[in-house]
Amino acid sequence: MEVQDWIESSIRAFFCFTGIIGNFWLGLRSLPKSRSQVRTGDILFINLAVSNLITNCLVDLPEFLSHFVKSWITSPVYCGLTQFCHEISETSSIFTTMFISMYWHQKLVGSIKRGGASVQMDSLRLVAMLLGASWSVALVFSTPHIFIAEHDRNQSFEVCEEHFPTPAEKKTFDALYLTLANVVPIIGITYASIQIAITLLRSQKRINNQSKGNRSGTNVNPPSVPVAQRAEGTSQRSLESSRVACSSSKTVKTATNPPKPVQQTQVRSNPSSNNQIRAAKSVLAVATIFLFCWFTHLVLRIYSSFNLRSVLAVKLTNFIGASYLCFVPYVYLHGVRKLNCSCL
């Protein structure tokens, strides 16, 4: 192979094996130890890991090995299965990323408004229905690639290409896929990410204000005896001297031992709240990476759909998708404090 081919193979191998390790790690660390410990976040992380591993193991790894076994590339079966696995994995991964963003948007934003109450996506039945629908959509858009993907017979084209019956059908298919499987999830992820970012900024501002108030040392003065209570004691003083004495003794005791002032607000928050904020920050980081990678991916895909012979655009599209699948699991693992080797 030439130097360019070696560089391309090395980058692809790095993305492939790093992605396999990261996504396998994410899925393994998200497995619940018992049925009672099944949580929505873990189910979504497992589904994301499975979706990404389809691309890592059934697309990236064969494409890396195909540089050494050239006969694979020219096989129609290879092209059809590769395109099918790539599309179903990509679509499921995009929808799962949207569900994760929506879930943590509800946990962070909705839960704060309702005082920590459970959110709608805590329902495992609802999450199962959403994931089932996303896999159904992915299957519908991925199945046609098995029958229309093939390699150019003269072997002058370096990637698999697809032949639709008519150009109009291709445009319709691409428009539906880009709208339902790319634009709609991107809008959902963007909205949820903006809401999460606003909530995190407000929370940080509130914590900073509390810290400044505590450092200034402004304490609430001990509450004095209410005016109405003093008036009532004065009116009864002429009728019952014993009650006056008792009342005055209580007043003296209250004055000498005033109620303790309200303790300064401690900035230390609930550990579960800290974990939610940390996880939400990781979701926000992943959403930022996703929007950057998939917007570029979307532009390149649209360009390659019009310029069928643009090998560079197709390769850049695959590299961007592979880089996203490679780094995202580690960001999630860091956010949920599972980036360690204690798998059990």
The per-residue pLDDT for 82 is: 86
Flag whether pLDDT at 261 surpasses 60.
no
The per-residue pLDDT for 226 is: 45
Residues contacting residue 115 through CB under 8 Å, at least 6 positions apart: none
Distance (Å, rounded) from C-alpha 235 to C-alpha 29?
72
The per-residue pLDDT for 63 is: 79
Domains and CATH numbers, the chain: 3-212+268-335 (1.20.1070.10)
In one-letter notation, the amino acid at residue 45 is F
Copy the structure tokens of residue 313.
């655009």
Distance (Å, rounded) from C-alpha 276 to C-alpha 106?
11
Flag whether pLDDT at 281 surpasses 70.
yes
Copy the structure tokens of residue 305.
């759909």
Residue 178's closest CA among 285, 298, 80, 78?
298
Beta-bridge partner residues of 161: 150
276 vs 291: which has the higher pLDDT: 291
Averaged over 246-260, what is the pLDDT? 46
At 162, give phi and psi (nearest 5°): -120, 140
Distance (Å, rounded) from C-alpha 46 to C-alpha 25?
10
